[in-house]
A and B are shown apart, each in its own frame.
Chain A
Amino acid sequence: MPRYQRLALSSISAAALLAALPAGATTFTISWWGFNGDKMQEIIVNPFQELCGCEVVFETGNNGDRLNRLAMRSGAGVDVIYLTDSYSQAGIEQGLFQPIDRAQVPNIAELYDLAQAPQGEFGPAYTVGRIGLVYDSARVNPPITSWNDLWRADLASSLSLPNITTTAGPMVVLQAGRHAGVDAYTDEDATFAALAELAPNIVTNYNTGSEMINLFSTGEISVSMTQDFTLGRLRDAVPTIEWATLTDGEIAVLNTINIPTGSENVELAHQFINFVLSADIQRQLAEQGVDAPVNATVELSPEAAGMWTYGQEQIDSLQRIDYSQLNPARDRWLDRWNETFGM
């Protein structure tokens, strides 16, 4: 073999070997929505990469998509997963998550009670939000003050509610039960009769926050039910949007972080959760408009606190949902919901 050929061959093999060798750093995979990308990079990803000496990569998408992908890989492929509590309950029931070793996450002790162990031994909540009603004050008069206002005759063809397939959707059914004066879990006929009365007020039901914001900005709707994190973007689109002060209480929604059973970096995953729950990170996330803090030691200025579910008193006033009861009911309700709104 001529010399230059040998040289070429050996350099190709060397290059191939180098490419095949594992990179020095561990790869840590986070599954989350992908919202607020720049801020998450700055507040969480960059400092955590420095702390762990690892490389952070993401899997993004909505709750259902990401949970489904995880289930298809039997719990492998990501090290931590962010989900709303309704979906993390579904993941727990599918056996996709491992219990959190609380000794490795000391910051959990600093959280509000409701965030420490919302779903037993599994992941803690890292933020709390509210589900309530929003309306366009330029078009809705008198203002909305109760869940019962959804049934008002003057709101014909001006509502969009979250589809039953979203986090907030099944709560529409619960509110319909309250409106009818029955327990939605035990008297489904009366509950769905109340929902049917609501049908003339509904333009269409939405599946994503962006869809709902679009419906407001194109003038299709003037009232909707949503989570508080959409309020900022809603007001950017329609400045006259108001968050309704409800006499009958808003609903708490907790976002959790869990460690899937197939995580390859379990220790690092615990370290990550502890990092995200630390007072410093929680404060930065709140001040930058990303997430409301659940660490009780975080103190916010009145301006920063204004947009969030913040402080013991406000958190205590929220209605709580038991997803181990709601999720199985949701599967039963799906068809009746479809029949009520989709025929």
Chain B
Amino acid sequence: MKRLAGWMLASPATLAITFLLVIPVAITVGLSFGSPGQGDWGIVQPYADFFASGFRRNVLWRTFTVAGWVTVISLAAGLATAYVVARCPPWMKSTLIVLAVFPLLTGVVVRSFAWLVLLGREGMVNQVLQATGLTDGPVAMLYTQGAVIVAMVYIFVPLMVLVLVGVLENIPEDLMQASSSLGAGPVASFFQVTLPLAVPGLIVGAVLVFTASFTSYATPHLLGGTRQMMMGTFLQQRALVAFDWPGAAVVAAIMLAVIVATVLVMTRVARRLNPMAT
């Protein structure tokens, strides 16, 4: 009876996930395969076609690199910010957290658009560079990989801060006192006590940021333009412009595979760094 009640309680969520996630993903992945007699590769011919194209490999690699850089920079910036926030007195902590997550209150398009204004040829960054004599003329910053990375870091750091503050707060102060009483300086305490204990948070944050930046559409679309196409923008082109749904499904399936693989690798790394992490 108790077991039945449990199933009953879980059923709305299970049904929702089955119909809204599992089935659509299965259909998409199914759509990405070709017919058995097609080409040299049979049903995986569409994937062979994808990897045979230099442009498509380039898009995949670019997306991977951008997402990787965004994750690493967000981890460093997020950890530093969260470390400071977690050690503040309570009244200041809440103010700082509100300030840190303030950008989350506006949409991702608006936040990306802000960078369009800042990094433009007549934008603030170029004005400062020219006023200080660092450059003679305007530097082309928009529609480069750097612009996409900068904007994405700005967008995802608040996410990382939120995750890490929670983790760092839960590390007991006693442990720090114990490590200093045993002769460790602040730096050694950080690297030998705080950091290993923060690994679960770092992994959750890294997975969130990597997934979100690997699949993002608006930011690469606005700041990367057509010269910095990423998987999200390429997927949109296949589906909504070329009306090539099987081709778009291949892109989606590859994105899914990369993300699942990355999450698995990250959890494995985390387990090695801190056996209690997962």
Interface size class of A (residues with CB under 8 A): 20 to 34
Chain B, 43-91, CB within 8 A of any chain A CB: 53-55, 58-59
Q: How far is the CB of A338 from chain B (nearest CB, A)?
A: 5
Given contacts A341-B226, A342-B55, whether A65 and B240 have CB atoms under 8 Å apart is yes
Confirm or deny: B156 has a beta carbon within 8 angstroms of a beta carbon on chain A: no
Given contacts A218-B123, A219-B122, A220-B120, whether A331 and B55 have CB atoms under 8 Å apart is no
Given contacts A205-B225, A205-B226, whether A334 and B121 have CB atoms under 8 Å apart is no
**For A205, what are the chain B residues with a Cβ–Cβ distance below 8 Å?**
225-226
Partner of B229, one of A71, A218, A338: A338
Closest residue of A by beta carbon distance from B58: A343
Query: A157 to B242, Cβ gap below 8 A?
Result: no
Query: A68 to B243, Cβ gap below 8 A?
Result: yes
Confirm or deny: B237 has a beta carbon within 8 angstroms of a beta carbon on chain A: yes
Chain A, 114-169, CB within 8 A of any chain B CB: 157, 163, 165
Closest residue of B by beta carbon distance from A160: B225
Confirm or deny: B140 has a beta carbon within 8 angstroms of a beta carbon on chain A: yes
Interface size class of B (residues with CB under 8 A): 20 to 34
Complex CA gap A203/B228 in Å reads 11
Query: A342 to B243, Cβ gap below 8 A?
Result: no
Confirm or deny: A339 has a beta carbon within 8 angstroms of a beta carbon on chain B: yes
Chain A, 277-310, CB within 8 A of any chain B CB: none
**For A343, what are the chain B residues with a Cβ–Cβ distance below 8 Å?**
54-55, 58
Closest residue of B by beta carbon distance from A330: B242
Confirm or deny: A34 has a beta carbon within 8 angstroms of a beta carbon on chain B: no
Closest residue of A by beta carbon distance from B223: A204
Chain B, 222-243, CB within 8 A of any chain A CB: 225-229, 237, 239-243
**For A219, what are the chain B residues with a Cβ–Cβ distance below 8 Å?**
120-122, 138
Complex CA gap A339/B52 in Å reads 13
**For A163, what are the chain B residues with a Cβ–Cβ distance below 8 Å?**
226
Confirm or deny: B142 has a beta carbon within 8 angstroms of a beta carbon on chain A: yes
Query: B240 to A68, Cβ gap below 8 A?
Result: yes
Closest residue of A by beta carbon distance from B226: A205
Q: How many A-B residue pairs have CB under 8 A?
A: 64
Q: How far is the CB of A161 from chain B (nearest CB, A)?
A: 9
Partner of A64, one of B55, B116, B120, B240: B240
Partner of A342, one of B117, B121, B226: B226
Closest residue of A by beta carbon distance from B222: A211
Partner of A90, one of B54, B243, B244: B243
Query: B120 to A218, Cβ gap below 8 A?
Result: yes
Query: A204 to B240, Cβ gap below 8 A?
Result: no
Given contacts A68-B243, A71-B243, A334-B242, whether A220 and B227 have CB atoms under 8 Å apart is no
Indicate the member of B227, B239, B244 with the most A CB atoms within 10 Å: B227
**For B239, what are the chain A residues with a Cβ–Cβ distance below 8 Å?**
68
Partner of B142, one of A65, A165, A204: A204
Chain B, 101-147, CB within 8 A of any chain A CB: 116-117, 120-123, 138, 140, 142-143
**For B120, what are the chain A residues with a Cβ–Cβ distance below 8 Å?**
218-220
Query: B143 to A204, Cβ gap below 8 A?
Result: yes
**For B242, what are the chain A residues with a Cβ–Cβ distance below 8 Å?**
165, 331, 334
Partner of A341, one of B122, B227, B240: B227
Query: A339 to B226, Cβ gap below 8 A?
Result: no
Given contacts A338-B55, A341-B226, A342-B229, whether A218 and B117 have CB atoms under 8 Å apart is yes
Complex CA gap A170/B208 in Å reads 38
Query: B241 to A165, Cβ gap below 8 A?
Result: yes
Bitwise, A37-78 to B at CB < 8 A (1) or not (0) is 000000000000000000000000000110010010000000
Complex CA gap A71/B245 in Å reads 12
Query: A335 to B53, Cβ gap below 8 A?
Result: yes
Q: How far is the CB of A85 from chain B (nearest CB, A)?
A: 16
**For B122, what are the chain A residues with a Cβ–Cβ distance below 8 Å?**
218-219
Complex CA gap A205/B237 in Å reads 14
**For B59, what are the chain A residues with a Cβ–Cβ distance below 8 Å?**
342
Query: A165 to B121, Cβ gap below 8 A?
Result: no
Complex CA gap A333/B225 in Å reads 19
**For A64, what are the chain B residues with a Cβ–Cβ distance below 8 Å?**
240-241
Given contacts A331-B242, A339-B55, whether A204 and B121 have CB atoms under 8 Å apart is no
Query: A165 to B55, Cβ gap below 8 A?
Result: no
Complex CA gap A65/B120 in Å reads 29
Query: B121 to A218, Cβ gap below 8 A?
Result: yes
Complex CA gap A163/B59 in Å reads 17
Complex CA gap A297/B117 in Å reads 47
Contacts A204-B225, A342-B227 supplied; 8 other A-B pairs, CB < 8 Å: A157-B140, A207-B226, A218-B121, A219-B122, A331-B242, A331-B244, A342-B58, A343-B55
Could you list 17 examples of A-B contacts with CB < 8 Å? A94-B243, A165-B242, A203-B142, A204-B225, A205-B225, A207-B226, A218-B117, A219-B120, A220-B121, A331-B242, A331-B244, A335-B53, A338-B55, A338-B229, A342-B58, A342-B228, A343-B55
